[in-house]
Amino acid sequence: MTRITERFNKLKAEGRKAFIPYITAGDPDLATTERLILALAEAGADVIELGVPFSDPLADGPVIQRAVERALAAGGSMRATLDMIASIRSEVTAPIVLFTYANPIVRMGLDAFATRAAEAGVDGVLALDLPVEEADEFREALTRHGLDTIFLLSPTTIASRIKRAGELGSGFLYGISRLGVTGARETVATGAEDMVRRIRAVTNLPLALGFGISTPAHVAEVGAYADAAVVGSALVALIAQTTGAADQIARVEDYVRSLRAACVASKAS
């Protein structure tokens, strides 16, 4: 059983939902990312998502695109991200998921990537632009090294593809609450609950919901029907706003604690 599965099982037994923060590895630099990961863990993150900087982040909106540009300028890469995870893994008990695109994995080599990711302490991988129909080899390589394969589902994903993602996937599935790119919104998408219902009709894997979630109220709303809430762009924006400030880590911790507290209060499913 992987750390991700253990974590979701524990949360289910406790009757609460998971909170998953996302940050971009290397933004504004790798040393700060290390401190931020430790802060996320200290603030109670149940799973931590790390975005691997990539030059063509098609699924991401302007906030994360700018974060990726800063990370790349600071020397961020797949190898640098894995080395950084390895350096702090012993200090973090929360599972760590890589949020990446297929290109950096292919450039590194699938087997080499899976080997190094497992050695570094990565728990799961989500390759955003990898179609489930082409994911068998990818999933087999990750499974050999004890890594979970996480698939992305959208409001337009048809039932047969949801079923296939549930069969090939492990750890959890990541549902995007709305079409388009990442970015904070004022409200959770109106069709999010219906999408969760459709996914749960064909798979029992835990479901995390992201894209557009940014406030404790959003987290509590999502927790009423999904297994986890993911907050990315709003957190990345806060990191950008506080870069260079002496209280950056404290402000990030406070924000994450407020979101995590809302998740604890969301016990209905």
In 2-77, alpha helices (H) = 3-14, 30-42, 62-73
Element housing 169 (H / E): none
Provide the phi-psi class of 185: left if phi over 0, else alpha when psi is between -120 and 50, else beta.
beta
Q: In this structure, how many other beta carbons lie within 10 angstroms of the beta carbon of residue 28?
A: 20
CA angle 29, 185, 39 (to 5 degrees): 35
Q: Which candidate in 60, 221, 227, 253 is catalytic?
A: 60
221: annotated active-site residue = no
141: left (phi over 0), alpha (psi -120 to 50) or beta: alpha
For residue 133, give the amino acid letter.
Answer: E
Of the candidates 46, 49, 148, 227, the residue annotated as catalytic is 49
Strand ranges across the sheet with 18-24: 148-149, 124-127, 96-100, 48-51, 18-24, 228-231, 207-210, 173-176, 152-153
Active site residue 60: yes
What is the residue-wise DSSP string for 214-263?
-SHHHHHHHHTTSSEEEE-HHHHHHHHHHTT-TTHHHHHHHHHHHHHHHH
CA gap 221, 249 in Å, rounded? 27
Instruction: Give ∠ CA 54-70-150 in degrees, rounded to 5.
Output: 35
Q: Which residues are catalytic?
A: 49, 60
